């Protein structure tokens, strides 16, 4: 007897709708490896409908005073708190994440970030008006961009959706958001909640829309004539494709792409503290985090001691089912990702040594053991390319100069950390490390007030902070004659 799968539908103009042509795709729970739903597979007609709804809603939403948009966002944040357990359940089904950690580590920052952007809506600052030409006064207007096409990833479906819609709506834009085809459930629940708030407060239904679909759906969104901005969090390959597609009609682009964060541990570091924090920051969310502490560079004088301690920490780290409160992380998100992570280990060069893990866990779901690999060289594949799994690599360095060279010697430039008791060294390293974020004696904390974004192939534009908010605005010069 076959159980009928739940149906996940697009959210367009305040309504849940099947794909116009009826196409669907299966959605799999990565903790079981079994399908639990079918989601709409959106095509051109669905993209047209969502863009039309967002475009129609834009003038009224744009013209609201910031205080009114703030009210909406604050009410959304409150509603997310009230329905937190529903969101947690949907996110765990999406991703296999531990319920307890999703409750403690994702809901509170999401709510806080929405409230931050609610306040930011009322704090748009610009240069003061003035006379820069005789008889003329110049002023600066900061305005919303228009309709934003946004694509969120599968590693943090709720969190990354929040990073996108909150600043966009706060600035006065309207949104068409596509979650990953593997993780649509929690985003659609968010749409239901947001839509309810918009309706309750009497605002246009098309302010926030969600399209389910695959890469082709995302391409159709980015290439559509309506959006003025395309924003994506995803792989470097996806970012390059989005930038190329958006260039055809000169859309603004916001890209948060891959990472390969160096974690530079000097000989004077507190080894026990560093190992404890780095293991959590490397294995959390199964290492499926662009800022994960997965590329450790250790001074040669403490290398062996550090590796031994890190391997023990890995052996003590547990992965398992979402309802197990003792686990640090759940499964990899999908079968392809499991294959990718396994492939990196299978292709390790002969000089590499697997100190811990290096294998799949169980036959059900996509679980992978906490893994530590040592003996690596700078040009090895696993050093140069993003694994996006619970795998921490370790290299040794001889001095500060070599540490900087190894750290910067990749194409990614999102995040990094330095571990030392020497303040001057920490300041030198923070200047020389070519990454959008440098943590000192910690790794991975984020706050709404500070920007998150990288350089090089990690993309451009900022999430969070006033800088992230400003990315969703445009600047207009207005000059008036005093005569």
In this predicted model, what pLDDT tens digit does every residue of 414-427 receive, in sequence order? 999 999 999 999 99
- Helices 157-170 and 84-95, packing angle to 10 deg: 130
Q: Are 356 and 311 in contact (CB under 8 A)?
A: yes
Shared-domain flag, residues 56 and 193 = yes
Question: What's the pLDDT at 1?
Answer: 44
| 83-to-194, 197, 404 alpha-carbon distances in Å | 12, 13, 46
Range of the domain at 309: 262-448
Shared-domain flag, residues 66 and 193 = yes
CATH number at residue 349: 3.40.309.10
- Element (DSSP H or E) covering residue 191: helix 185-200
Q: pTM for the complete prediction?
A: 0.96
Q: Determine, yes or no, domain membership for 204.
A: yes
Shared-domain flag, residues 189 and 268 = no
Q: Which runs of E-coded beta strand occur in 160-303?
A: 174-178, 208-210, 229-233, 252-256, 262-265, 295-299
Shared-domain flag, residues 471 and 409 = no
Quote the CA–CA distance of 148 and 169 in Å, as a whole number. 9
Question: What's the pLDDT at 188?
Answer: 98
Consecutive sets of 10 residues in the chain, 483 residues long: mean pLDDT of each?
A: 83 98 97 97 98 98 97 98 98 97 97 98 84 95 96 98 98 98 98 98 98 97 98 95 94 96 98 98 98 97 98 98 97 98 98 98 96 98 98 98 98 98 98 98 97 97 96 96 93
Shared-domain flag, residues 100 and 197 = yes
| Active site residues per annotation | 256, 290
Beta bridge partners of 29: 34
Question: What's the pLDDT at 125?
Answer: 77
Question: What's the pLDDT at 127?
Answer: 78
- Element (DSSP H or E) covering residue 230: strand 229-233
Question: What's the pLDDT at 396?
Answer: 98
Q: Determine, yes or no, domain membership for 19.
A: yes
Question: What's the pLDDT at 4?
Answer: 85
Quote the CA–CA distance of 276 and 305 in Å, as a whole number. 14
Quote the CA–CA distance of 93 and 100 in Å, as a whole number. 13
* Count of Cβ atoms closer than 10 Å to residue 238 Cβ: 19
């Amino acid at each position: 007897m076959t159980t009928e799968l739940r149906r996940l539908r697009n959210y367009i103009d305040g309504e849940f709708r099947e794909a116009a042509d009826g196409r669907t795709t299966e959605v799999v729970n990565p903790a079981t490896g079994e399908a639990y739903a079918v989601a709409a597979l959106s095509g051109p007609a669905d993209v047209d409908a969502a863009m039309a709804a967002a475009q129609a809603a834009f003038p009224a939403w744009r013209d609201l005073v910031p205080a009114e948009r703030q009210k909406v966002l604050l009410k959304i944040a409150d509603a997310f708190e009230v329905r937190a357990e529903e969101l947690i359940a949907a996110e765990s089904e999406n991703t296999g994440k531990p319920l307890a950690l999703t409750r403690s580590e994702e809901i509170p920052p999401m709510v806080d970030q929405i409230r931050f952007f609610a306040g930011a809506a009322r704090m748009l600052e610009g240069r003061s008006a003035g006379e820069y030409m005789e008889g003329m006064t110049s002023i600066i207007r900061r305005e919303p961009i228009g309709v934003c096409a946004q694509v969120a990833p599968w590693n943090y479906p709720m969190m990354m959706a929040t990073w996108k819609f909150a600043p966009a709506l706060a600035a006065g834009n309207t949104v068409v958001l596509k979650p990953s085809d593997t993780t649509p459930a929690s985003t659609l629940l968010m749409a239901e909640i947001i839509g309810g708030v918009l309706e309750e407060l009497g605002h246009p239904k098309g302010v926030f829309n969600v399209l389910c679909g695959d890469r082709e759906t995302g391409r159709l969104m980015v290439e559509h004539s309506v959006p003025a901005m395309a924003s994506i969090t995803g792989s470097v390959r996806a970012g390059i494709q989005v930038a190329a597609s958006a260039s055809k009609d000169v859309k603004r682009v916001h890209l948060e792409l891959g990472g390969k964060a160096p974690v530079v541990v000097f000989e004077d570091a507190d080894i026990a503290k560093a190992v404890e924090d780095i293991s959590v920051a490397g294995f959390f969310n199964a290492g499926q985090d662009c800022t994960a502490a997965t590329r450790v560079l250790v001074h040669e004088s403490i290398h062996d001691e550090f590796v031994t301690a890190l391997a023990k920490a890995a052996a003590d780290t547990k992965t398992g089912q979402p309802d197990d409160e003792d686990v640090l992380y759940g499964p990899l998100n999908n079968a392809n990702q499991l294959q990718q992570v396994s492939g990196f280990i299978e292709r390790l060069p002969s000089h590499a040594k697997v100190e811990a893990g290096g294998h799949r866990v169980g036959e059900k779901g996509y679980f992978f053991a906490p893994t530590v690999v040592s003996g690596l060289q700078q040009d090895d594949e696993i050093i140069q390319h993003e694994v996006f799994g619970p795998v921490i690599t370790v290299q040794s360095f001889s001095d500060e100069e070599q540490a900087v060279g190894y750290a910067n010697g990749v194409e990614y430039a999102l995040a990094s950390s330095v571990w030392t008791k020497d303040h001057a060294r920490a300041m030198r390293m923070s200047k020389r490390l070519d990454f959008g974020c440098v943590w000192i004696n910690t790794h991975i904390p984020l706050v709404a007030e500070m920007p998150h974004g990288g350089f090089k192939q990690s993309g451009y534009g900022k999430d969070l902070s006033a800088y992230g908010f400003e990315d969703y605005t445009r600047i207009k010069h207005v000059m008036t004659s005093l005569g």
